Chains A and B, each alone.
Chain A
Amino acid sequence: MTVATSLLALVLSTATGWFAVARWLPASMLLRVCLAFGAGLFIHSCVHLAALAVQCRHTFAWWAVDYATLAFAWCVARRLERAGSSSTPVGLPERLAAVPARRICAVIAALATLWVTFFFIAMYHKSQSGVLDAWAIWNLKAACFFRGGEQWTNAFSHVIDWSHPDYPLLLSLNVARLWSLGGQESFAASGLLAICFSIATVGLLYALIERLAGCIPAAIAVLGMIAARAFLQQGASQLADVPVGFMLLVGLGCAMIGLREAGSERRWFCVAGLFAGAAAWTKNEGLLMMLAMFAVLFLLAGGKRRAMLVGYALGAAAPLTVVVIFKLFLAGPSDLLADASLARTWSMVTDWSRHAMIGHIVMLTVRHNIGDALLLSLLVAAVAMGVSRAGVRAAMFAAVTLMLIIAGYHFVYLTTPYDLIWHLTTSVDRLLMQLWPAALLALFSATRCTVFD
């Protein structure tokens, strides 16, 4: 029953995302559904937070709030449609749609995804409460929201500073939402959400690369993603790293489509900004992702700069407002900034042994969690397919953004107040999975699908 209720709640939020965002984009159905899934979770998390603030309590009230949100999105969509702003689903460009292997690629990618879904379900059976951080951080906050009554803000108490009171709330609010709609706490709800995020990430990667480069690179990228040990292990962990990776992937992918295709750039950049902001509402790393994307757009935009930046800023405005309100009025202090001082930071940044240590452990983690054979196969496949000149600029945008993000992560590790080795070994694999889907997108978006013509 809990699973059925949670599924219904996820369908409801996806429908909201459909009317609010996905319906207006000229894209394939798969891409639209994946976008609707993420956008709906963002919208309903904000609504859930607002409802908590006004002391919404009963199961019936939660359902009413959710249906009202959906109805509002539908009304806005109807009004915009009457104003002539709607957009129909579009197929792929002719050169990509004509590839004979298209159906085979889609089937292979779908079967592979189905196969790993069974693995995720098995993982859930083995450890229903997820990994330690899942219940100590993300689901703990959800529990505070669900049972806290008037004291739900105790989730941010300094007494439980080990639970990171400064972490953003998209995931916790959505778990609390599923529990509230189901009327009880259930690991099934949080597990289902984790699995849905993993599957949506795979579907999204396929849809984006198919749109940018064609079905063959898309299928290879999907196989590469699910062949990574870390993705499998984190897919069912109930942490926020796969969700923030999903948001980053949407943000980058939509911006790449906007950069590459003429016609509806403003919409694509608006959605890119929205999801970059949603990444900041999912994890603190999302703030870095959002800023990195903005900076690279500013540098690479060329003639479309104004349209791009305005669209991006418009999209990011709403989630950024939510994040700022959260940071100002609810969040506790960040543990990473504890005892920070300029002198201490400078001494850490100029300590070359720390740089070397970070590089060493990152390399070890990449080799263990992804593997040499997998990396080599992906690189060989990408090189053999060849480079599509039309896609180079968009791929450069993604690659430079990722490098900026990695530089940011490097700086955080350099200046961490924790023991460096402990901090690295407990988090690098998760950061790697935040960036892995986006890295595959950057690699394969500039390849050519026409090799089999």
Chain B
Amino acid sequence: MRGEVVRMLRALRIAVVSLAAIVLLTQSVSLPMKLVRANGLAEAIARPQEDNVTAFIRELTPLRNHLSAVPVVGYETEASLAGQPIVMERCYIAQYAMAPTLLDYRRKHPMTLVIMPPDHAASLDRMIAEGRWRVIVRSAPASAVLQEIQAAP
């Protein structure tokens, strides 16, 4: 009798563990699919798209010549420090531009433009309010950037 109870309990435990494993397996397979659908990842794999940063760079590239008249800071620091027109292809995140090696440049050139994609602009508001940056252009499409540059004080 006792042996039967033990066997039944063991069978029950096996059933419970198996059931839990099936639930976990189902969830671990289905959750990624749900997230793929929710985030449009299937399209991203099938037809890789530029993210907004890359698209912004591409859009700005033709403006290089127009920008040469204004001290624009991208992150190509050597060029910026030498007062050369900025190389826009790789100016993809304005926080990069503000951050690393441009601090000296900013001291020498208080009139500084920083170009950035619009959706990254929010975190700069505090800096503008604190007067750390004189002019900040944060517009897309590229034509609007040019207008802002021309209208800058």
Interface residues in chain A, defined as those with a beta carbon under 8 Å from any beta carbon in chain B: 108, 112, 115-116, 118-119, 121-123, 125-129, 132, 135-136, 140, 143-144, 147-149, 151-152, 154-155, 157, 159-160, 162-163, 185, 216, 219-220, 223-224, 226-227, 229, 232-233, 371, 373-374, 377-378, 380-381, 384-386, 451-452
Tell me the complex Cα distance, A157–B106, Å. 14
Instruction: List residues of chain B with CB within 8 A of the CB of A219.
Output: 21
Whether A451 lies near B132 (C-beta < 8 A) is no
Closest to A374 in B: B27
Tell me the complex Cα distance, A212–B20, Å. 21
Instruction: List residues of chain A with CB within 8 A of the CB of B93.
Output: 129, 135
Whether B24 lies near A378 (C-beta < 8 A) is yes
Tell me the complex Cα distance, A121–B99, Å. 29
Instruction: List residues of chain B with CB within 8 A of the CB of A155.
Output: 99-100
Instruction: List residues of chain B with CB within 8 A of the CB of A452.
Output: 14
Instruction: List residues of chain B with CB within 8 A of the CB of A140.
Output: 95-96, 99-100
Closest to B13 in A: A384
Is B65 among interface residues, defined by CB-CB distance under 8 A? no
Q: Can you offer 26 A-B residue contacts whose CB atoms are under 8 A? A: A119-B32, A119-B36, A122-B42, A123-B39, A126-B40, A128-B54, A140-B100, A143-B96, A143-B100, A147-B100, A149-B77, A152-B100, A155-B100, A157-B103, A160-B98, A220-B21, A220-B24, A223-B24, A223-B28, A229-B35, A374-B27, A381-B17, A381-B20, A381-B24, A385-B13, A386-B13
Tell me the complex Cα distance, A149–B105, Å. 15
Q: Which of B86-145 contact A (CB under 8 A)?
A: 90, 92-93, 95-96, 98-101, 103-104, 120, 123, 126, 132
Q: In the assembled complex, how far is the CB of residue A447 from the closest CB belonging to chain B, in whole angstroms? A: 9
Tell me the complex Cα distance, A373–B20, Å. 10
13 additional contacts, CB 8 Å, given A116-B32, A132-B120, A140-B96? A112-B28, A129-B93, A135-B93, A151-B101, A154-B101, A155-B100, A159-B98, A159-B103, A227-B28, A229-B31, A373-B27, A374-B27, A385-B17
Whether B99 lies near A122 (C-beta < 8 A) is no
Q: In the assembled complex, how far is the CB of residue A161 from the closest CB belonging to chain B, in whole angstroms? A: 10
Is B63 among interface residues, defined by CB-CB distance under 8 A? no
Interface residues in chain B, defined as those with a beta carbon under 8 Å from any beta carbon in chain A: 10, 13-14, 16-17, 20-21, 23-25, 27-29, 31-32, 35-36, 39-42, 44-45, 48, 51, 53-54, 75, 77, 90, 92-93, 95-96, 98-101, 103-104, 120, 123, 126, 132
Tell me the complex Cα distance, A136–B116, Å. 13
Contact for A227 among B27, B40, B54, B120, CB less than 8 A: B27
Instruction: List residues of chain A with CB within 8 A of the CB of B77.
Output: 147, 149
Whether B99 lies near A451 (C-beta < 8 A) is no
Instruction: List residues of chain A with CB within 8 A of the CB of B29.
Output: 112, 115
Q: In the assembled complex, how far is the CB of residue B110 from the closest CB belonging to chain A, in whole angstroms? A: 14
Tell me the complex Cα distance, A125–B27, Å. 23
Whether A154 lies near B27 (C-beta < 8 A) is no
Closest to B26 in A: A227
Whether B44 lies near A122 (C-beta < 8 A) is yes
Contact for B25 among A149, A159, A223, CB less than 8 A: A223
Closest to B101 in A: A151
Whether A227 lies near B31 (C-beta < 8 A) is yes
Whether B41 lies near A135 (C-beta < 8 A) is no
Closest to B77 in A: A147
Whether B14 lies near A227 (C-beta < 8 A) is no
Whether A162 lies near B21 (C-beta < 8 A) is no
Whether B35 lies near A149 (C-beta < 8 A) is no
Contact for B75 among A128, A143, A451, CB less than 8 A: A143
Tell me the complex Cα distance, A135–B116, Å. 13
Whether B21 lies near A226 (C-beta < 8 A) is no
Q: In the assembled complex, how far is the CB of residue B147 from the closest CB belonging to chain A, in whole angstroms? A: 27
Whether B100 lies near A159 (C-beta < 8 A) is no
Q: In the assembled complex, how far is the CB of residue A140 from the closest CB belonging to chain B, in whole angstroms? A: 6
Tell me the complex Cα distance, A115–B41, Å. 14
Instruction: List residues of chain A with CB within 8 A of the CB of B132.
Output: 159
Q: In the assembled complex, how far is the CB of residue A437 from the closest CB belonging to chain B, in whole angstroms? A: 14
Tell me the complex Cα distance, A127–B28, Å. 22
Q: In the assembled complex, how far is the CB of residue A259 from the closest CB belonging to chain B, in whole angstroms? A: 26
Known: A129-B51, A220-B21. A232 touches B16 (CB 8 A): no
Instruction: List residues of chain B with CB within 8 A of the CB of A121.
Output: 45
Instruction: List residues of chain B with CB within 8 A of the CB of A162.
Output: 123, 126
Whether B17 lies near A144 (C-beta < 8 A) is no
Instruction: List residues of chain A with CB within 8 A of the CB of B101.
Output: 144, 147-149, 151, 154
Whether A122 lies near B95 (C-beta < 8 A) is no
Tell me the complex Cα distance, A152–B39, Å. 37
Whether B41 lies near A384 (C-beta < 8 A) is no
Instruction: List residues of chain B with CB within 8 A of the CB of A232.
Output: 31-32, 35
Contact for B100 among A118, A128, A144, A229, CB less than 8 A: A144
Q: In the assembled complex, how far is the CB of residue B119 from the closest CB belonging to chain A, in whole angstroms? A: 9
Instruction: List residues of chain A with CB within 8 A of the CB of B17.
Output: 216, 220, 381, 384-385, 451
